[in-house]
Structure 1
Amino acid sequence: MSEEPRTREGWRPALAGELRERLDAWSGRTGIAVETWALPGEEASAEVAGAVLAVLEEALANVERHSRARVVSVAVTLGRGGLRMTVSDDGAGFAGQAAGRGVDAMRDRFEALGGTLSVHGVKGEGTTVTGTLPRR
């Protein structure tokens, strides 16, 4: 995906707009509905925005490949405590631990910025990816 221009050194404007555009394009391409619960109302650093967009793309790729979902729900909030991101689907889910290169890549991306990421599934109910990044 293309990089959005930066208005200030190290800052990327309109993360919410870029998230919305990517979610709309993905939904249109896959036919899977997207519910957007929340998007950030303020700017994020280029590092944080890059991590969020990369994790979102991997989470959506996993939904498309594995879940058989009809709906994906997304919430990304940014406040005094930092950033929180949730991507949840109503698909097949899974039992046991989430594993694989994609899960490792998502986790590594958030951990590199001091954050955490977890993936939880319930067989027959869906999967939820939740990540947090501290405020810098």
Structure 2
Amino acid sequence: MPAERKLPIMVTSRIKTSVARARFKRGSGRIKVNSYPIENWLYEPHRSKAMTPILLLSDEFKSVDVDINVRGGGSYSQARAVMVALAKGIIRWSRSGSVRRLLRNFDRYMLTGDARFKEPKKFGGPGARRRFQKSYR
């Protein structure tokens, strides 16, 4: 028999400059992001990205309430950070290898961080690599 689970479970995920902190506790399947129900948070393409673990593992989420606080970055990186936090948290909640395998086979970046950042701008041009146009006259 597995050891008694320590409650609540806290999970953090970072994508670019977005940081999502999720708190998992026993409940009835309520998931809130920044105090809004996840169904009303952001707009459809990004919301569906964030809800991917919920759609894949709907049975696992029926007995857990999740409160997520996400800050920083843009809307897409916030949605990805929420997705990773939900995936990591439900793995720790269920303590099941089959849940981990299902999420890993669906999208391997759901469980691992994405270390890519925007390349910093340098002098002599409008961006990181682009240079100002050269004039010979």
Whichever of the two has the greater Rg, that structure is 2
TM, length-normalised to structure 1: 0.35
Provide TM-score, normalisation by structure 2: 0.34
Q: Which has the higher strand share?
A: 1
